[in-house]
Amino acid sequence: MLSKKVEKMINDQMNFEIYSGYIYLAMGAYMDSLDLTGFANWMKVQWQEEFFHAQKMYNYLLERGGRPFLTEVPAPPKDWKSVKAAFEHALEHEQIVTGRINDIMNVAIKENDHATRSFLNWYVDEQVEEEASVDAIIKKLKLMKESGHGMYILDKELGARTFTAPAE
């Protein structure tokens, strides 16, 4: 059984994952408004991933005798100065998510909650991948200085991304 503190933290994070999805969907809409459908696709796949993360937390809460609680989700930003600025915002947001996951892990460790520690290990690894993926795109955008030809090629590359739910 989960402690009330861990249950609340996972619920808070589950709702933050939903908010993360909203941010990525808003970024996708921004990219679509620029006719950058590949960039938009990448963001919309990320939106699906964030909702998958929330769903895993929802299920975990139930498995451990807790109860998922959904809260109001704030409206995400609508516009960014540039494509690179949107990805920089995404990286900053992922770094916040990493910090939040680490905070839950620290409490689970303190409480000797080995099941939650095991559950959160997946998220720890996922956050390394999330940050690295966004950072790689930022580096490409900086390298090309958002030039037309480079943007076209990267747009095509990002358009190939698909959502595949990770094995549980």
All structural domains of the chain, each given as residue ranges with its CATH number in brackets, are 4-69+78-159 (1.20.1260.10)
pLDDT in tens, 52-89: 999 999 999 999 999 999 999 999 999 999 999 999 99
Asked if 47 and 25 touch (Cβ cutoff 8 Å), the reply is: yes
Residue 32 in this model has a pLDDT that exceeds 90: yes
In this predicted structure, what is the pLDDT of residue 151?
Answer: 94
- Distance, in Å, from the CA atom of 138 to the CA atom of 59, rounded to the nearest integer, reads 33
Residue 33 in this model has a pLDDT that exceeds 70: yes
CA distances (Å), origin 96, targets 13, 42, 86, 90, 130: 11, 20, 15, 10, 12
End-to-end CA distance of the chain: 21
* Diameter over CA atoms, the chain: 55
Averaged pLDDT, 6-25? 98
Asked if 91 and 23 touch (Cβ cutoff 8 Å), the reply is: no
Q: Which helix (H) or strand (E) holds 98?
A: helix 83-110
Residue 168 in this model has a pLDDT that exceeds 80: no
Q: Give the up-direction half-sphere exposure of residue 26: CA atoms within 13 A in the CB hemisphere.
A: 17
Q: What percent of the chain has pLDDT over 90?
A: 94
pTM, rounded to two decimals = 0.95
